[in-house]
Amino acid sequence: APDIPVSAVRADLDQLQSIASANGGNRAHGRPGYLASVNWVKSKLDAAGFTTRVQSFSRNGATGYNLIADWPGGDTDDVLMLGGHLDSVSAGPGINDNGTGSASILEVALAVRSSGFQPRRHLRFAWWGAEELGLVGSTHYVNSLSTTDRSRIKTYLNFDMTGSPNPGYFVYSASGQPSGSLRVQQVLQQYFSSIGVQSELTSVGGRSDHAAFARAGIPVGGTFTGAEGIKTSAQAQKWGGQAGVAYDRCYHRSCDTTANVNATALDRNADAIASALWTLAG
C-alpha cells in the first residue's frame, strides 16, 4: 500500500476550514458550508476519474446530500466500501470531526488512481450528510438500496475522527458485529502493530455511520482516535499525550479547527486506511 502523504491530508483540512470560514463558521446540514464541502470533494474525485453521484434526502426542512464515488472496475458483486461523514455540527468547522476521516479517505481514493492499483474487488467511497443529526445520510443510503445492491456490499469501513489532538489508537471491535468484521478488525490491528503502535479495541456501537451497514448484516470496521472520553494514564504511557484530559477537548465546539489535529495520528490513520484497502481489495 502507498504511504499517504499527511501533507496532502492537511491541505484538504485547510480547504475544509476555508469553506467553513467563508460560510458562517460551520459545515452543518442545511447550511451552505455543507454543500460547498460536497462540491469541493466531488470536484477532486471527478478530476481523478471517479464516477460520482450526489444522493439527496430531506431532514428538518433542509436538503441533505451524500456523495458516492465509484472507482471503475473490479467485481461489482463484491464491493468494498469506505466512508465517513462530511457534515459538522453547527457550533464549529468540524475539522477533527470529521474533516479528518473525510480528507483521509479522499487521499486514499486519489492514491488508488495515482498508484495504478487494479483491485479485484469493486471500490466505493462515501461522504455522508447529516451524521450529526443521527446518522441520517448513511441510513438513507442503506435503506435506498435494492436487496440485490445491498447484498453486493461485502464490507464497509468507517472513519470518523482520526486526528484527535490527544489521540488514542482505537480499532472498532468486531464483537457483536456481523461475521466478517473480525477480518477487518485484524487487518487494522495488524497495521498498527507493524508500525509499533499498540492499538486498543473500542465498541463504537451506534455512534457513527457504520451502524446502518451493521444493521443490514454487512461486515464493518474502522479506526477512531477518541472524542470526549478521557485518556487514562496507561494510555498516555503507551501513546504519549496527556492523561486525565479528553482525547478531543474541542469535540463539537467552535475550536474544532485545523489547530485541533494531531498530525502524527492523522498520518498513521491515513496510512492504516490505505493498508486496509490494499489488503482487503486484493
Told to check if 207 binds ligand PHE by CB under 6 A, we report yes
Choose the one of ligand PHE, Ca ion, Zn ion, none that binds residue 3, judging by a C-beta under 5 to 8 angstroms depending on kind. Answer: Ca ion
Site map (CB under 6 A) of ligand PHE, residues 109-138, x = contact: ----------------------xx------
Interface region with Zn ion, contact rule CB under 5 A, candidates 138-146, 177-185, 254-262, 269-277:
138-146
Interface region with Zn ion, contact rule CB under 5 A, candidates 7-15, 110-118, 139-147, 265-273:
139-147
Which residues carry out catalysis? 131
62-71 and 51-59: which strand pairing? antiparallel
Q: What are phi and psi of 241, to 5 degrees?
A: 85, -165
In the chain, count of helices (H) and strands (E)? 9, 8
Choose the one of Ca ion, Zn ion, ligand PHE, none that binds residue 96, judging by a C-beta under 5 to 8 angstroms depending on kind. Answer: none
Task: Say how far apart CA 147 and CA 169 lie, in whole Å.
Answer: 35
Interface region with Zn ion, contact rule CB under 5 A, candidates 92-100, 151-159, 254-262, 273-281:
92-100
Quick check: 249 and 87 in contact, CB under 8 A?
A: no
Choose, by CB under 5 A, the member of 4, 108, 214, 277 that binds Ca ion.
Answer: 4
Told to check if 98 binds Zn ion by CB under 5 A, we report yes
* CB closer to ligand PHE, 161 vs 174: 161
* CB closer to ligand PHE, 219 vs 226: 226
Task: Say how far apart CA 247 and CA 145 lie, in whole Å.
Answer: 36
Number of residues that bind ligand PHE (CB under 6 A): 10
- Written as one string, the DSSP assignment of 218-267 is --EEEEE--SSSBPPHHHHHHH-S-TTSBS-TTTTSTT-SGGG--HHHHH
Which residue's C-alpha cell is 472498532? 172
Told to check if 209 binds Zn ion by CB under 5 A, we report no
Closest to 172 measured CA to CA, from 183, 163, 164: 183
Choose, by CB under 5 A, the member of 65, 271, 276, 280 that binds Ca ion.
Answer: 271
Task: Say how far apart CA 124 and CA 9 lie, in whole Å.
Answer: 19
- Measured CA to CA in angstroms, residue 263 lies from 10, 53, 68, 177, 254 at distances of 8, 31, 27, 30, 20
Choose, by CB under 5 A, the member of 68, 267, 272, 275 that binds Ca ion.
Answer: 267
Task: Say how far apart CA 190 and CA 218 lie, in whole Å.
Answer: 22
The CB density around residue 234, as the number of other CB atoms within 10 Å, is: 10
Closest CB 262 distance from Ca ion, rounded Å: 14
Site map (CB under 6 A) of ligand PHE, residues 142-161, x = contact: ------------------xx
Task: Give contact residues for ligand PHE (rule: CB under 6 A).
Answer: 97, 131-132, 160-161, 204, 207-208, 224, 227
Task: Give contact residues for Ca ion (rule: CB under 5 A).
Answer: 3-4, 267, 271
